[in-house]
Amino acid sequence: MPPSSSVPTSQRVAKIVTRSELHNCDAWRRAFHNKCKDHRYYEIVEETVEGGFEYRYLLLEDGSGNARAIQPVFFVRQNLIEGVPGKISSIVDRVRKVFPRFLTMRVLMVGCAAGTGDLSACDERDEAWVANALQASLSTYARQNKASLIVLKDFPATYRSELETFPEWLCRIPSMPMTRLSLHYNNWDEYFRTLSKATEKICAENSAKPSVHPRSRWSSQRHHGSC
């Protein structure tokens, strides 16, 4: 079913909007302003990351109608037998030719489809308020859209105190730890000299300049990736 236009809660309203509706929204530009991944990252993810995701945004307003946050969410249909080998998988595949959703589950994911999640307060002092607003609206929104599971995807432990307000039926599951690879080279040329001949050839082919330079709406902006 189409998403509901709003999810009313006590003293708050969660409006359901699409990215196109946020084009001239000042609150959207202020959301994530103090994060490594600001609103532009979420826009790029929606434009480029496929996989059957249905992207939506919860515009969270207080009782006075002030936008306090815009929280990205997305729906995905989870394959319940992912990774199951052999006979069972082949049987399910045959059933799905008639019933495509057999042994799948619709999931409401809160956060980012490509990266860790963040609370999207326009003012970082409001992160606890945002957590309370999500707690009040997510269950209703999931039911409206026939989602069987709500997942707060890859939220760092730094949000633990804000998310403690969520009800007991939400279970915290540790995710895989983030990893870091140290590259002990002063520059690209020094690293390149350590590669095998086959790898050198692949890198040289991939780094060759294209004859045509496509332009995108991001090409005129210079963004620094450090945080």
Six-digit token string for 62:
């207080």
What is the residue whose two structure tokens read 């991944």?
37
Identify the pLDDT of residue 9.
77
Fold observed for domain 6-163: Aminopeptidase (3.40.630)
For the residues of 134-150, what is the DSSP string, one character each?
A: HHHHHHHHHHHTT-SEE
Alpha-carbon distance values, 221 to 41, 217, 225 (Å):
13, 8, 12
Average pLDDT over residues 24-49: 94
pLDDT in tens, 91-120: 999 999 999 999 999 999 999 999 999 999
Identify the pLDDT of residue 212.
52
For the residues of 146-204, what is the DSSP string, one character each?
A: T-SEEEETT--GGGHHHHTTS-TTS-----PPP-------SSHHHHHTTS-HHHHHHHH
Confidence class for position 2, pLDDT limits 50, 70, 90: very low
pLDDT in tens, 199-213: 777 777 776 655 555
Lowest mean pLDDT among 41-50, 141-150, 169-178, 188-197: 169-178
Identify the pLDDT of residue 209.
58
61 and 12 Cβ atoms separated by less than 8 Å: yes
3-class secondary-structure state, position 133: helix
3-class secondary-structure state, position 131: helix
Q: Where are the domains of the chain?
A: 6-163
**What's the rounded Cα separation, in Å, for the pair 139 and 38?**
26
pLDDT in tens, 186-198: 988 888 888 887 7
**What's the rounded Cα separation, in Å, for the pair 68 and 59?**
8
Amino acid of residue 91: I
Confidence class for position 150, pLDDT limits 50, 70, 90: very high
Radius of gyration of the chain (CA): 21
